[in-house]
Amino acid sequence: MILVVLIAVLAAAVIVAGFVGIVRTRRRPDAEPAPSAVTAEPAVAEEPVVVAPVKEVAPPRLRDRLGKARALVGGYLAELRLRAAIDDQVWDELEEMLIVADVGVSMTATLLDDLRAQAREQAIASADALIDALRADVAERLRSGDQALAQVPGDRNVWMFVGVNGTGKTTTIGKVAEAAVADGASVVLIAADTFRAAAADQLGVWAERAGAQLVRGQEGADPGSVVFDGMDAAAGRDASLVLVDTAGRLHTKVNLMEELKKLRRIVDRTPGALKEVLLVIDATTGQNGLAQARQFSEAVDVTGVVLTKLDGTAKGGIVLAIQHELGIPVKLVGVGEGVGDLLEFDPDEFAGALFA
């Protein structure tokens, strides 16, 4: 009996203790929360993100991009510099070097005739001095043309781009547009190549990228009407620079060259508007580029040459051939795929790079 009472008392004690514990663990509405088993990490103030300033990328040097041409010419120059005296073999090697570099037979003869006369007058006795004289002569001849692109402030400057298929004409226009917009010009692109399906689309991508405006027509439309509308739109938008992309055409196709003359006449209706007719030539074509330049110049009076892909050829001498045969200066050269790889042509830098 006593055992039963003791068990009942103990059970009652346990029940009371549990009830008291429950009461004690109840929280008032304004009570502090119980500490968590997981301690929160103290907040750490984020450091401000520091963005490094964008470094201006210097334009590429011709010396660094004329690898193939310099390798070809440099092989000859290395041999020539070992010569103790200027003899017939030196002259023969100079002639071979210039012809292989695609200077052309006529230009090569002119250069060497003048160099012989200079060597006699100045008593040039070493190959090093002879090479220096040749480099200076080449630079001087290239400076005889006006390498600057014609752009008159306050006028509507129009540059028409012509050339055969595959020379990089549309890409060149896009690069020119991007550089011009970056310099503050208001640029309109006229997509007068209505025969190549993707030409206007390609030019449109460049226009959007550069922040220029585009005027285009329907595929297969008359290029003359597109140029007319484009000139009208450029006047309405007060554009300072208008770039006209024409369809690539073989210089031997008379009817296509006649069409090009028509496009020029349409642009010429705006007094003083047309400042440049730029012939885009692929430098890798060598002397064939000279034939192209001759035909296009006769058709539309080319004012300057854009020589693309100069970094991919050993035939850099075509620059001299074009200016010697036709009197047309090279104004821009392409030495890579990037926008910054389209450079204004510098005669001294070119001659120095080629004959270094």
Nearest in space to 273 (alpha carbons), one of 231, 332, 327: 231
Q: Where are the domains of the chain?
A: 62-142, 157-302
Q: What mean pLDDT comes out for the span 281-303?
A: 83
Residue 31 above 70 pLDDT? no
Which CATH code fits 62-142? 1.20.120.140
For residue 193, what pLDDT is reported? 87
CATH T-level topology, domain 157-302:
Rossmann fold (3.40.50)
Residue 49 above 80 pLDDT? no
The DSSP string of 259-324 is: HHHHHHHHHHTSTT-EEEEEEEEEGGGTHHHHHHHHHHHHHH---EEEEE-GGG-S-TTHHHHHHH
User: For 215, phi and psi rounded to 5 degrees?
Assistant: -120, 125
**Mean of all residue pLDDT scores within the chain:** 80
Residue 352 above 70 pLDDT? yes
Residue 245 forms beta bridges with which residues? 161, 191
For residue 221, what pLDDT is reported? 85
For residue 257, what pLDDT is reported? 82
Distances (CA, A) of 148 to 151, 155, 197, 305, 330: 9, 17, 33, 11, 9
Measure the CA–CA gap between 211 and 183, rounded to whole angstroms. 12
Residue 277 forms beta bridges with which residues? 160
pLDDT tier, 240 (very low <50, low <70, confident <90, very high otherwise): very high
Measure the CA–CA gap between 306 and 281, rounded to whole angstroms. 6
316: left (phi over 0), alpha (psi -120 to 50) or beta: alpha
Which amino acid is present at 166? G
For residue 3, what pLDDT is reported? 39
At 53-98, the pLDDT tens digits run 434 456 677 777 778 888 888 889 999 988 888 999 999 999 999 9
Other CB atoms within 10 A of residue 5 CB: 9
Distances (CA, A) of 23 to 13, 20, 26, 33: 15, 5, 5, 16
Residue 350 above 60 pLDDT? yes
For residue 16, what pLDDT is reported? 40
pTM beyond 0.75, yes or no:
yes
For residue 250, what pLDDT is reported? 65
Residue 231 forms beta bridges with which residues? none
For residue 1, what pLDDT is reported? 43
- pLDDT higher at 124 or 286: 124
Strand spans (E) along the chain: 157-162, 187-191, 213-216, 241-245, 274-282, 304-308, 330-334, 342-344
Burial (CB < 10 A; 0-12, 13-18, 19+), residue 123, is: exposed
Which amino acid is present at 278? L
Burial (CB < 10 A; 0-12, 13-18, 19+), residue 188, is: buried
For residue 258, what pLDDT is reported? 85
Measure the CA–CA gap between 39 and 57, rounded to whole angstroms. 51
Other CB atoms within 10 A of residue 288 CB: 14
For residue 21, what pLDDT is reported? 45
Q: What mean pLDDT comes out for the span 222-250?
A: 89
Residue 334 above 80 pLDDT? yes
